[in-house]
Chain A
Amino acid sequence: MGAIKIAAPLSDETILSLKTGDEVLISGTIYTARDQAHFRLVKLIEDNKPLPFDLQGQIIYYVGPTPEKPGEVIGSAGPTTSYRMDKYAPTLMKYGLKGMIGKGKRSAEVKDAIKKYKSVYFGAIGGAGALISKTIKSSKVIAYDDLLSEAVRRLTVENFPAIVINDIYGGDLYEEGRKKYENKYNYNNIIAV
């Protein structure tokens, strides 16, 4: 199965074309934010204050990288678990966010917002931070440097590997994948030595 190359920020056309289970390679500009950065971004929206970057069409990657060594673009940079951002994600989608990259299940509210605001939730491979970091070509902290690894960064990525978990049509790879392989294990497949 070949991966689909897509550009970030996301166009409406790309979003319409993506389906749950599609493997993608993302190239372009994306932003990073985790728990505390989400808290601050939503607070700014509530207070009618400007955000540190324009959300329109953007993808936010849930990541807190390791510190880069001298000469490195970025440290190890795999996804963190997404549900911790569930409280804030619908507000960001309402104000233009079109994509999220993380790992793990989303709440019913987030899945509804994905359909309502036409966004996509991508899964990246957790624990593959060294591999993923190779697709990140530039990294710049643009806000909240006091949050250390949790600061907001602007990243340039080339062929960043991900898979569509939740599409705008209501698909959910975690539910579909689990159902497909439920009770498929048997004793012939024991992994023990």
Chain B
Amino acid sequence: MRVIASEEISNTVKNLIINSSVNLPEDTYKSLKQASEKEISESGKTVLNQILLNADIAKTELKPLCQDTGLAVFFVEVGKDVAVGGKNLTDAINDGTRAGYAEGFLRKSTCDPLSRKNIGDNTPAIIHYDINDGDKIKIMYAAKGGGSENMSRLKMLRPSDGKDGVIDFVVETMREAGPNPCPPNIVGVGIGGNFERSAIIAKKALFRKLGAKNDDPELAEMESIIFEKVNNIGTGPMGFGGICTALGIHIIKEPCHIASFPVAVNIECHSHRHAEVII
């Protein structure tokens, strides 16, 4: 059994957080660049160029891309032949989160939902675990902003609603969201599972590389239909009007109950900060 010290995990998490806050991932930068070339609206083009300039400034001056440095969301895959020494894995990730948000001068955005009092250190992180084969731990991190999260939706469709029901729900969610979630957006769609599972896989779908095709041809086709419909809404970059409202539609599906048809739409802003590491 391989043993990884909890300090190593905390350190890795801290560095992931600090680096992500100032470095827009390459696939996102490339996708925004392509959008700036395709956009036909003048103000939309201006916005996209400003977003790219912002990414350049963040990277060279080590200044956070966005003031909303998010809640810290993790998808963690733990091999069956690895153990964590010292603190438990959840505490190790929270220690790394606390250190990353403090040492990176990032905004602390967790608060009590009722009193609205700030927790002060951006914990607790939101962590989803999976168990795998092997002796490694894979940590996927996203800084998830509140603006796009607030526009996300979940609906228990009827099985008779079919594929068209899913497509309509995603497009309607994006139409209602309009300028609020900082378009152009990445749209994660979770189909199936149950109530909570659909939301978790919608979030996980956001991690797929922008521009990478869905392995499932049926889902790939749905993605391109939704992509066209969403970009026909007219919202455009920051909602000032245009044809670049979504950078990508990413769907994951899982089996569900014979009576259910859950669909979750998790919207991500253009400041698509995510990173992963294998220890």
Contacts and interface: CB of A to CB of B under 8 A. Distances in A.
Contact of B57 (A23, A83, A134): A134
B40 A67 contact: no
Contacts of B63: 75-76, 129-130, 133
Nearest to B35: A191
Contact of B66 (A127, A148, A150, A184): A127
A155 to B, nearest CB: 13
Contact of A184 (B40, B58, B150, B182): B40
B234 A183 contact: yes
Given A103-B180, A180-B234, A189-B38, A130 B64 contact: yes
Contacts of A64: 67-68, 107
Interface residues of B, number: 64
Nearest to B211: A193
Contacts of A185: 228, 231-232, 243
Measured as residues with beta carbon below 8 angstroms from the partner, the interface class of chain A is 35 or more
B10 interface: no
A108 B141 CA distance: 38
Interface string A169-184: 0000110111111111
Contact of B240 (A78, A123, A147): A123
Given A125-B51, A127-B66, A191-B244, A103 B38 contact: no
Contacts of A66: 64, 67, 69, 105-107
Interface string B206-243: 00000101000000000010011001111110111111
Interface of A: 1, 21, 23, 35-36, 63-69, 75-78, 80-81, 83, 103-105, 123, 125-131, 133-134, 147-150, 161, 163, 173-174, 176-187, 189-193
